[in-house]
Amino acid sequence: MIQIKSAAEVEKMRVAGLLVGRTLQMLAGCVRAGVSTAELDALAEAFIRDHGGLPSFKGYLGYPASICASVDDEVVHGIPSRRLLVDGEIISIDCGAIVDGWHGDAAITVAVGSVRPELARLMEVTEAAMWRGIGAARLSGRLTDVSHAVESYVRSQGSYGVVEEYVGHGIGTEMHQDPPLPNYGRPGRGPRLRKGLVLACEPMVTLGDRHTHVLADSWTVCTDDGLPAAHFEHTFTLTDSGPWALTAVDGGRAGLASVGAPCGAPEVDRAE
Ligand code: MF3
Ligand code: CO
């Protein structure tokens, strides 16, 4: 069942989303060679709790940490560990928080030091695909307009893989709600996009083919061919003037502008 949020509930989701966005911003500034993913996790948990939130991942289906930290060929759900980051790697950091019962969920992929140009490009394509997807969302449009925009942009940029086993989702008083939001497929299908719908759009794009497997830790998702993957995610909703990225510190203004889409973030953001 799709949970439709009131304007007041969307405001609460903005508070949670902003905390997630600021946590990721803080973590991005801490990524460098020699830092462990467990350190990043500890920083994230402290930041979330210090700002009145709860880390939503911790304990979710038994997940042991507050972030997912997925390095290079790890696509998503990497468990933080004492492993140290190395120059030239890329790390995807996925983070969720609950404030006052409402969830935010977002992810970024960050370079450790300087990375090969093809990895920098992979990250750019994945982030732009996310913004294309969010930017394709229109009131009275349909869910898979987002899916189609993500996939067609990735395909237009080269022979990347678009992961199919993991998808975006509705989000609200639970992290994962209906409807599932695939990162591929034909436009014009699925539920109508309407006010009060809140979705997480989260493309996972690979440098090689799209197939993945789960490691023996039962969480870490890796590419079958061992090539790197990137992952970006924002929680967003729709307003009369366009999409509003609730987990983006700027509400999505810059990202949506970069793909020529309108942004529906309110002029006065009450959560800021
Ligand atoms: N944030 C992920 C998603 O986007 C889920 C993380 S799984 C967890 O759906 F177990 F780590 F919480
Ligand atoms: Co998500």
**Distance set, CA 133 to CA 26, 46, 66, 123, 229 (Å):** 25, 32, 26, 15, 18
Distance 268 CA to ligand 1 centre (A): 30
One digit per residue, pLDDT tens: the chain, 272 residues?
A: 999 999 999 999 999 999 999 999 999 999 999 999 999 999 999 999 999 999 999 999 999 999 999 999 999 999 999 999 999 999 999 999 999 999 999 999 999 999 999 999 999 999 999 999 999 999 989 999 999 999 999 999 999 999 999 999 999 999 999 999 999 999 999 999 999 999 999 999 999 999 999 999 999 999 999 999 999 999 999 999 999 999 999 999 999 999 999 999 999 898 88
**Distance set, CA 223 to CA 28, 153, 163, 258, 272 (Å):** 23, 21, 9, 29, 38
Distance 174 CA to ligand 1 centre (A): 11
Please tell me the predicted confidence (pLDDT) of residue 272.
82
Mutate to test the pocket of ligand 1, among 24, 57, 126 (most ligand atoms within 8 A of CB): 57
Distance 186 CA to ligand 1 centre (A): 25
Q: Which two tokens stand for residue 245?
A: 């990225």
Please identify, by atom number, the ligand 1 atom nearest to the C-alpha of residue 105: 1
Distance 183 CA to ligand 2 centre (A): 12
Q: How many whole angstroms separate alpha carbon 237 and alpha carbon 138?
A: 10
Pocket lining for ligand 1, CB < 6 angstroms? 57, 60-61, 63, 68, 77, 94, 96, 105, 200, 202, 233
Q: How many whole angstroms separate alpha carbon 231 and alpha carbon 187?
A: 22
Q: How many whole angstroms separate alpha carbon 214 and alpha carbon 66?
A: 19
> Which pTM was predicted?
0.98
Pairing of strands 198-201, 221-223: unpaired
Architecture label for domain 7-258: Alpha-Beta Complex (3.90)
Q: How many whole angstroms separate alpha carbon 139 and alpha carbon 80?
A: 38
